Structure 1
Amino acid sequence: MKFLGELDPVATRRTQACNQRLTDPNRLKAIRDTGLMDTPCEETFDRLARLAAQILRVPLTIVSLVDAERQFFKADYGLPSPFKETRTLPIDASLCRYTLEGEPIISSNALADPFLKFHPSTGPWGIVAIIVLPLINADGHVLGTFCAIQPSVREWTDHDLTVMRELTASIMTEINLREQILKMKAEQNLRETFVAALTHDLRTPLASSKLHVQLLGRRHADMPTVQSAVTRVTQSLDRAERMIQDLLDASAIKAGRLTSLKMSPCEVHEITAQALQELAAVHGERFVLRAEGELQMVADSNGLRRIVENLASNAVKYGSPDTPIEVVLGRSDDEVTLRVKNRGNPIPESELRTIFEPFHRTRSAKDSSQKGWGLGLPLVRGLAEAHGGTVTVTSSFQDGTCFTVTLPSAPPQGAVH
């Protein structure tokens, strides 16, 4: 950049420092991460440019991004041709590049300013009174600027500067929110790719192991010890397969996709009793099942079973070991309810709001010897919602911890049959 006159030492140091920032790879990456370079005009940003022009009563406002080669006009009010059409300015003609150290450019009369009067764009652009505020992200990188320009001398008031600063903050809020959304989408895609690859790689050896164990059981059908070992290994492999399915479903729930259902008539009492019987073989006779009336409904039987298994297993892990776990089934109007209640240390109220979030574990769960991924309760909620139902929890010293699942007797509209 060639100025039209000799700069004083202060201005010279500023230009040199900003020139070094111009090509900073971290700053340039921060600009790319916004996803805004070379994108069409958007009302979100145009509205802020228009608002600044109306409040300050200036003919020209610009929201810009400044990379190493050019200044890109993301939004404007009153931008003249040909810049209105091209929306770019070569970096050598950019005045905004001299905010890259984070310092604004504010002048009531650029033609008399010892720095601005020598910049070659001041005259052609009709710049006299000007406010140029840097757009600074959370890491301290200057992404660009928000400018207000008037072609006549003007003493900017504190109100003028406050308006520009507040609108600049609004621009950065929008940019930061968009960047966070982009990061979340990238993380979601990465997580889904990882989960898909992991589960595929795990299922193949599990299926092979299960096949060989079953063959071993058939070859030694007359040996009780072998049959007992085969049963234990098969149960462990089945549990591993369920954990893989839990991981897949948790990833789908995290991404906002409800679990698909295979709906058919089923009897809730029978499904619950079978699930508790299998759990009792592992955990002992801890479960007390009570059912109230007929409990026929149309639902996904496997989904109901997984709801019972997860809630009952959770109660075993974190409930008091010397007290029974109550499982109560009931019906009211057109709904079926499942309540799983255990005694023990209550869940803190602060954690009740996030307990159904994927991969969330309460403080007591983390401090305990119980291992887990924090997937059981999110799956319960996902399956309940996929049925058109809900799950809630209450917890206190007096009444214990109770999870309540409420499901409609008939399938929800849109459920997969």
Structure 2
Amino acid sequence: MKFLGELAEADLGRTQRCNRRLTDPNRLQAIRDTGLMDTPREEAFDRLARLAADILHVPLTIVSLVDADKQFFKADFGLPSPFKETRELPIDASLCRYTLEGEPIISSNAPADPFLKFHPSTGPWGIVAIIVLPLINPEGHVLGTFCCIEPRVREWTAHEITVMRELTASIMTEINLRNQIQKLKAEQNLRDTFVAALTHDLRTPLTASKLGVQLLARRHADIPTVQASVARVTASLDRAERMIQNLLDASQIKAGKRVTLTVSECDFHEITVQTLEELSAVFTDRFVLKAEGAFNMVADPIGLRRIVENLASNAAKYGAPGTPIEVLLSRSGGRVTLQVRNQGTPIAESDLLTIFEPFHRSRSAMESAQKGWGLGLPLVRGFAEAHGGTATVTSSAQDGTCFTITLPLNAASPELFSALSEPERVNTNEPSRLRS
């Protein structure tokens, strides 16, 4: 655009540098990434425009984005017609474009300013005293401006300029937080897509491998060594399948979704016994089950098994070696409580706050020789909550570490599971020790 007079060399250099910045593709992409261009008014930005007008006692404040071909008014206080309706200004008429180097425009008397007096918008807009501060993102790109305009000569105080700078920082905080949320959503979508593709691609060769192993077992049913090898391979493939399912479920939980349940009538006591017997083959004779009678439930049997499996195996891995691991089942009204308790180094208080988060591993777990992804406990809580229940943990040097899972007896009717009080301690029956 043409100024209405000859600019000083320094001012001319500023306009030329800002003009080059105007069409910088990285800057324009940064504006697109905000998702704010050509969007409706929002109270989050209008509030800051009103606040600036109220504190500084000015009739006009504007939050703008400066694109390559126009200046878009995202928020304002006192914007006159027709700009209040169109909410944009052709870029050739924009004064804010000359902050794209990151330098503000501050003047107490624009008609007497050697730079501003030649700008064609100064007169028609009634600009006399003005503060224009650039909105600069963390990468250093100027997205737009926050400005206040006074139609009379006014000496801005240091306090008033500070107020405008602080409010400008608040605008950028709002924009940056929104950008972070958008990035997190994009990362979440990418992760979900990746996990879905990974689980699909891995399950196909696993299924083919299992079919091949089963065929091999049938062809050589009379050779014990082959059968032993087949059993080991099948167990490894089953474990790989469980790991894939754990990853898929953990991704769902991290995305704020509940894991899918397939409920049926089942006996939690029987499921616990079977699971602990299988784990005893790996962790020897350490599990002590305290329970009495059947625990008939309407629940997901596989989900219940995975709760017991994860808690019991964690207790065996990270508890004091050789010490017994207590597994307690109790009933109270319409709910059942599972507790898994082990002795050993307590979980740090800071880790107790995040121990159920996906991919989190406590400090003691990372310092141990045990490898893991940090998925077991998030899955325990995920299955508990999907049933309408809760998962909690306590840990101290004196009492050991105790994970408590409380579930409704009928997961198909979560409304029967009212707000839980602190689970009462189970009766200490004679322990039934499980043999491998």
SS in 1 for 2:135: strand
Aligned pairs for 1:319-358 (under 5 A) are: 319-358=319-358
SS in 1 for 2:237: helix
Using the size of structure 2 for normalisation, the TM-score is 0.90
Matched, 1:106 2:113: no
Q: Measure the CA separation in 1 of the matches of 2:296 and 2:192.
A: 36
Q: State the identity as a percent.
A: 78
Which residue in 2 is equivalent to 1:82? 82
Instruction: State the AA in 2 paired with 1:168.
Output: T
Q: Measure the CA separation in 1 of the matches of 2:165 and 2:197.
A: 48
* 1:119 CA displacement: 1.2
The answer as to whether partners of 2:263 and 2:298 remain within 8 angstroms in 1 is yes
Instruction: State the AA in 2 paired with 1:123.
Output: G
Which residue in 2 is equivalent to 1:233? 233
SS in 2 for 1:327: strand
Q: Measure the CA separation in 2 of the matches of 1:352 and 1:414.
A: 27
Instruction: State the AA in 2 paired with 1:74.
Output: K
Which residue in 1 is equivalent to 2:259? 259
Q: Measure the CA separation in 1 of the matches of 2:391 and 2:112.
A: 70
Instruction: State the AA in 2 paired with 1:176.
Output: N
The answer as to whether partners of 1:388 and 1:412 remain within 8 angstroms in 2 is no
Instruction: State the AA in 2 paired with 1:187.
Output: E
* 1:159 CA displacement: 4.0
The answer as to whether partners of 1:262 and 1:300 remain within 8 angstroms in 2 is yes
Which residue in 2 is equivalent to 1:398? 398
The answer as to whether partners of 1:392 and 1:403 remain within 8 angstroms in 2 is yes
Which residue in 1 is equivalent to 2:419? none
Between 82-91 and 181-190, report the one with greater CA deviation. Answer: 82-91
Which residue in 2 is equivalent to 1:137? 137
Which residue in 1 is equivalent to 2:58? 58
The answer as to whether partners of 2:64 and 2:146 remain within 8 angstroms in 1 is yes
Q: Measure the CA separation in 1 of the matches of 2:414 and 2:19.
A: 59
Matched, 1:218 2:230: no
Distance 1:270 1:363, change over 3 A: same
Q: Measure the CA separation in 2 of the matches of 1:293 and 1:8.
A: 94
Which residue in 2 is equivalent to 1:289? 289
Instruction: State the AA in 1 paired with 2:45.
Output: F
Which residue in 2 is equivalent to 1:161? 161
Q: Measure the CA separation in 1 of the matches of 2:13 and 2:166.
A: 29
Q: Measure the CA separation in 1 of the matches of 2:249 and 2:35.
A: 31
Q: Measure the CA separation in 2 of the matches of 1:263 and 1:229.
A: 35
SS in 2 for 1:84: helix
Q: Measure the CA separation in 1 of the matches of 2:367 and 2:140.
A: 38
* 1:412 CA displacement: 5.7
* 1:298 CA displacement: 2.0
Which residue in 2 is equivalent to 1:20? 20
SS in 1 for 2:279: helix
Which residue in 1 is equivalent to 2:379? 379
Q: Which stretches in structure 1 are left out of the alignment for 5+ residues?
A: none
* 1:26 CA displacement: 2.8
Q: Measure the CA separation in 2 of the matches of 1:17 and 1:322.
A: 73
The answer as to whether partners of 1:264 and 1:299 remain within 8 angstroms in 2 is yes
Which residue in 2 is equivalent to 1:199? 199
Which residue in 1 is equivalent to 2:274? 274
Q: Measure the CA separation in 1 of the matches of 2:138 and 2:413.
A: 45
Q: Measure the CA separation in 2 of the matches of 1:413 and 1:135.
A: 53
Deviations 1:322-359 (A, max 9, x none): 21222111122322111112222222111111111111
Between 252-261 and 66-75, report the one with greater CA deviation. Answer: 66-75
Q: Measure the CA separation in 2 of the matches of 1:413 and 1:141.
A: 54
Using the size of structure 1 for normalisation, the TM-score is 0.94
Which residue in 2 is equivalent to 1:7? 7
* 1:401 CA displacement: 1.6
Matched, 1:39 2:4: no
* 1:253 CA displacement: 0.6
SS in 2 for 1:55: helix
Instruction: State the AA in 2 paired with 1:277.
Output: E
Instruction: State the AA in 1 paired with 2:338.
Output: L
Deviations 1:108-166 (A, max 9, x none): 11111111111111112111111111112222222111111122222223443333223
The answer as to whether partners of 2:135 and 2:168 remain within 8 angstroms in 1 is yes
Q: Which stretches in structure 2 are left out of the alignment for 5+ residues?
A: 416-436
Q: Measure the CA separation in 2 of the matches of 1:307 and 1:103.
A: 59
Q: Measure the CA separation in 2 of the matches of 1:292 and 1:62.
A: 72
SS in 2 for 1:139: coil
Q: Measure the CA separation in 2 of the matches of 1:111 and 1:166.
A: 27
The answer as to whether partners of 1:264 and 1:298 remain within 8 angstroms in 2 is yes
* 1:50 CA displacement: 2.5
Q: Measure the CA separation in 2 of the matches of 1:304 and 1:409.
A: 12
Q: Measure the CA separation in 1 of the matches of 2:20 and 2:72.
A: 19
Which residue in 2 is equivalent to 1:182? 182
Q: Measure the CA separation in 1 of the matches of 2:101 and 2:33.
A: 20
Distance 1:320 1:33, change over 3 A: same
The answer as to whether partners of 1:289 and 1:328 remain within 8 angstroms in 2 is yes
Between 308-317 and 181-190, report the one with greater CA deviation. Answer: 308-317
Which residue in 1 is equivalent to 2:300? 300
Instruction: State the AA in 1 paired with 2:153.
Output: V
* 1:180 CA displacement: 1.0
* 1:8 CA displacement: 2.6
Instruction: State the AA in 2 paired with 1:363.
Output: R
Deviations 1:205-249 (A, max 9, x none): 111111111111122222222222211111111111111111111
SS in 1 for 2:51: helix
Deviations 1:162-218 (A, max 9, x none): 332232222112111111111111001100110010000000111111111111112
Structure 1 segments (4+ residues) deviating >3 Å: 412-415
The answer as to whether partners of 2:70 and 2:88 remain within 8 angstroms in 1 is yes
Q: Measure the CA separation in 2 of the matches of 1:325 and 1:17.
A: 72
* 1:293 CA displacement: 4.9
Which residue in 2 is equivalent to 1:147? 147
Q: Measure the CA separation in 2 of the matches of 1:349 and 1:3.
A: 66
Aligned length: 415
Q: Measure the CA separation in 1 of the matches of 2:193 and 2:43.
A: 34
